[in-house]
Structures are given as structure tokens and as C-alpha cells.
């Protein structure tokens, strides 16, 4: 019996010829990461067991990105703890505040590659599946074990094959495809499963759009999201990847617990309503909902192409007087690219607040926390109750095109309205 790409990667890293869903394996880790929120607990566990060093200081990354620049003394202390650990252990890939959001930063720096097993103490580590890696989020205690041993156990997940068919419309992005899927199967529809994405709709999507799709696999409950490497993957990795790539492909006779097809060419931009990412409707069914804040950024949609899309719509226009528009590029390099291309000028002239490369309001951290009763539309990945501030606030999710149009009109809107 054939294996899926996920099964092949886990088998190779467990030293096995074959694995099957449900099997427990101990796999070698290629890369381990954590941030200023999750690393402190892992460091505590690391020290509690008396560990003297990490398994490989060139295979660990600590990124200060969630509550930085520090929002308060507690956040500053957490960042200080992580910084001192990185310096003590001479970690090659420690990234200070302002460098970027980890899940955009690490691919940009060439630190994740196809065929690898990657763990991160952050649920959106599944982002790297866009390059054909098995990447998944773990708890801080498991992260500590990975830091020390370079190994971790996994239960091999069964796979769901998701086929995106047809050519997406002008304003339909990777965000819309994944929202459509989550709306179809729900937030637990792929619980502890691998979501393997395929279909001709992916052929025309950039790597950044694929990162967005895999980023939100966790919002369907998945263990990981993954896309088989192709010519676009190779082009992205050229002169970027710091380690050799291993390109795996699913066998024709691989077994899937379910196959789902999404007709991408029939979709219009999607919006997830409060307070779950599964409450998805076409933008035409939600138009008119008034807004107080719009956020464009995060590890989901803070890529350069997302900023370009939003700027295209906002050029020559003004943010609605009742709306606060916050723009957060995902990395410092993206920030500088947007600056040199005049994109940040467009946002600024429109009335946006442009912040550094940080998670910011995505998790209710800072730089855009909502007051009671306020309503936001964000290109982020979650809209749970209280996610961005007050428990009585509301968060809607969309792609950058809808976000930009909505910022201009002061209500949820389709870019076609402009």
C-alpha cells in the first residue's frame, strides 16, 4: 500500500520503510522554534531537568514577535528571559523584536525546507507545510524535549485530500480558499489529521498564498497542512534554502480518509463571522456590517503580495472616518520592500497606522486591542470570543482585498464596490 507525503516524511525521520495512520513513531527533528510567549515555559522545563545544551544550536530559532516591542513589564521580562537563553546557548537564529513574525520570517530566511520535520511552540507552525514539510505546533513541554534531544514522538495522522479546482476569480486569494474549506468541514473537521492540498487552482497561486492556506490548517483542527513541492517551490527555495531539500510526493495508491473538492472558480471572497473561523459566508451575504477597526497583517496575510493587493484598492482613497486601519507587515524585509515600492506611502496617505513586524492585535496582544462592543475585520487567522480584546467585541476574518475595501467604506464590503 502506498503512502501519503506526510506518512513518507514521518517514516524517513523515524527510520522506517513504512508507517500507517495511528502508529506511534519517534522522529528526528530538523528544526525547532518558539517565541516570546511559549519559549519561557520551555526554558523553565529545560533548566528543571538539568539540561546543559540544546541538541543543535544551528537547528533552533527563538523569535520575539508576539508581545514586542514589549507592551508591559511582564512582556519585557519574558523577552529578556528568551534573549538571555539564546545568548547563553549561542543560538545562531535568535531574532530580536521587529525582525518579523516567526511563520513568515523563518521561510524568508531559508530556515525551513521540503521533506523536513519541524516543530514549533505555536499552533501555526503548520504554515511551513506549504513547502512540503511536516510542520506542526506542540506545547512548551514537548518543545523542551525537542530542544534537548532533537527527537519527539508523533502519532501518524490520517490524511484528508483537499482538491481546489478551477481558476480563482480576481479578488479570490489563498485566504478565501482555506476559509471556504473551514466553512465546509468546521473547526474540528480535520481533527488530528493531515490536510493535503492539491488541485489546479494551486498551480496559479504564489508560495505566499500557499503559506496562508497551510497556516490555517489548524483552524480546521488539523495536525498539519501540506502541499507537494513543485516548480514554484523550487523557485522560492533557489538561493534561499540553507539546507538540502528532499521532495516527497504521495503515491497514487495512498489512502485518504476523505476527499474534498472545492470549486475555486465558483467562489467569491469569503468572510468568517464571529466567533469561529467556520462561520463562513460569501462577502455578498455580509456586506453592510459596520466596523470600528481593520487589521491587515499577521503570519496569515502580512506578506508583500497581501500589502500590494490592499494598496491597489486603497490608492487615492481615504480610510473611513469611523475606522482605524492598522497595517503590520509580517517581516522587516517585507516592510522595507513595501516602503521602497511606495506601498506604505499609499497606506499612510489613506490614513492607516503602520506598525512594525509584530503579531500585535492578532492575539489581543497590543497595537489594536478592541474595546467593549467594538467590531473589527482582520486578515488574521482566529476570531474567537475575546481574541482581539474585550469579550464583547467582535472579529470578522477576510483576505486583504475585502479588508482594504472595508476600511475605505467603513463596513464589510467587496472590492468590486470600489
**For the segment 203-258, what is each residue's pLDDT rounded down to a tens digit?**
989 999 999 999 999 999 999 999 999 999 999 999 999 999 999 999 999 999 99
pLDDT score at 403: 98
Mean residue pLDDT across the chain: 96
pLDDT class of 365 with cuts at 50, 70, 90: confident
pLDDT score at 418: 86
Alpha-carbon distance of 105 to 108, in angstroms, equals 5
Cis peptide bond upstream of 60, omega within 30? no
Sign of CA dihedral 64, 78, 216, 117: positive
pLDDT score at 358: 95
Tens of pLDDT, residues 50-62: 999 999 999 999 9
Helix H segments across 341-399? 343-350
Tens of pLDDT, residues 152-184: 999 999 999 999 999 999 999 999 999 999 999
For the cut 90, the answer to whether the pLDDT of residue 1 exceeds it is no
- pTM of the entire predicted model: 0.95
pLDDT score at 87: 96
pLDDT score at 8: 98
Summarize the confidence of residues 102-112 as an average pLDDT: 97
Nearest to 399 by CA among 384, 415, 417, 416: 415
Domains 5-262 and 271-413 share a fold: yes
Summarize the confidence of residues 383-411 as an average pLDDT: 96
Residues 271-413: name the CATH superfamily. Answer: Aconitase, domain 3 (3.30.499.10)
Helix (H) or strand (E) holding 307: helix 304-314
Fold category of 5-262 in CATH: Aconitase; domain 3 (3.30.499)
- Contact between residue 79 and residue 38 where contact means Cβ atoms under 8 Å apart: no
pLDDT score at 178: 98
Summarize the confidence of residues 131-140 as an average pLDDT: 97
Q: Is 316 left (phi over 0), alpha (psi -120 to 50) or beta?
A: left
Gyration radius (Cα) of the chain, Å = 20
Domain ranges of the chain: 5-262, 271-413
Burial class (CB in 10 A: 0-12, 13-18, 19+), 170: exposed
Amino acid at each position: 500500500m502506498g503512502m501519503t507525503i506526510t506518512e513518507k516524511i514521518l517514516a524517513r525521520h523515524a527510520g522506517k520503510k513504512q508507517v500507517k495512520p495511528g502508529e506511534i513513531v519517534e522522529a528526528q527533528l530538523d528544526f525547532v522554534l518558539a517565541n516570546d510567549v511559549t519559549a519561557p515555559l520551555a526554558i523553565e522545563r529545560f533548566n528543571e531537568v538539568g539540561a546543559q545544551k540544546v541538541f543543535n544550536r544551528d537547528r533552533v530559532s527563538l523569535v520575539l514577535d508576539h508581545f514586542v516591542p514589549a507592551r508591559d513589564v511582564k512582556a519585557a521580562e519574558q523577552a529578556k528571559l528568551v534573549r538571555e537563553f539564546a545568548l547563553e546557548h549561542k543560538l545562531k537564529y535568535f531574532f530580536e523584536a521587529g525582525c518579523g513574525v516567526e511563520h513568515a520570517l523563518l521561510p524568508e530566511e531559508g530556515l525551513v525546507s521540503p521533506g523536513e520535520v519541524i516543530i514549533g511552540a505555536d499552533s501555526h507552525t503548520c504554515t511551513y507545510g506549504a513547502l512540503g514539510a511536516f510542520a506542526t505546533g506542540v506545547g512548551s513541554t514537548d518543545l523542551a524535549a525537542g530542544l534537548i534531544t532533537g527527537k519527539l514522538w508523533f502519532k501518524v495522522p490520517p490524511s484528508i485530500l483537499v482538491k481546489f479546482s478551477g481558476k480563482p476569480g480576481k479578488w479570490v486569494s489563498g485566504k478565501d480558499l482555506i476559509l471556504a474549506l473551514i466553512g465546509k468541514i468546521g473547526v474540528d473537521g480535520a481533527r488530528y489529521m493531515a490536510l493535503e492540498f492539491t488541485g489546479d487552482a494551486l498551480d496559479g497561486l504564489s508560495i505566499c498564498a500557499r503559506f496562508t492556506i497551510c497556516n490555517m490548517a489548524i483552524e480546521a483542527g488539523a495536525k498539519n497542512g501540506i502541499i507537494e513541492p513543485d516548480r514554484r517551490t523550487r523557485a522560492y527555495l533557489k538561493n534561499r534554502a540553507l539546507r538540502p531539500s528532499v521532495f516527497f510526493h504521495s503515491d497514487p495508491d495512498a489512502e485518504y480518509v476523505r476527499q474534498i473538492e472545492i470549486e475555486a472558480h465558483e467562489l467569491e471572497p469569503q468572510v468568517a463571522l464571529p466567533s469561529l473561523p467556520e462561520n463562513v459566508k460569501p462577502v455578498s451575504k455580509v456586506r453592510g456590517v459596520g466596523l470600528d477597526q481593520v487589521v491587515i497583517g499577521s503570519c496569515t496575510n502580512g506578506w508583500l503580495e497581501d500589502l500590494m493587493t490592499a494598496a491597489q484598492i486603497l490608492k487615492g482613497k481615504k480610510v473611513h472616518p469611523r475606522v482605524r486601519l492598522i497595517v503590520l507587515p509580517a517581516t522587516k524585509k517585507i516592510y522595507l520592500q513595501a516602503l521602497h515600492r511606495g506601498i506604505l506611502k499609499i497606506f499612510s496617505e489613506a490614513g492607516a497606522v503602520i506598525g512594525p513586524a509584530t503579531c500585535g492585535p492578532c492575539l489581543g496582544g497590543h497595537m489594536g486591542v478592541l474595546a467593549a462592543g467594538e467590531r473589527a475585520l482582520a486578515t488574521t487567522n482566529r476570531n474567537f470570543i475575546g481574541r482581539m480584546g474585550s469579550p464583547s467585541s467582535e472579529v470578522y476574518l477576510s483576505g486583504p482585498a475585502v479588508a482594504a475595501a472595508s476600511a475605505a467604506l467603513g463596513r464589510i464590503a467587496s472590492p468590486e464596490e470600489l
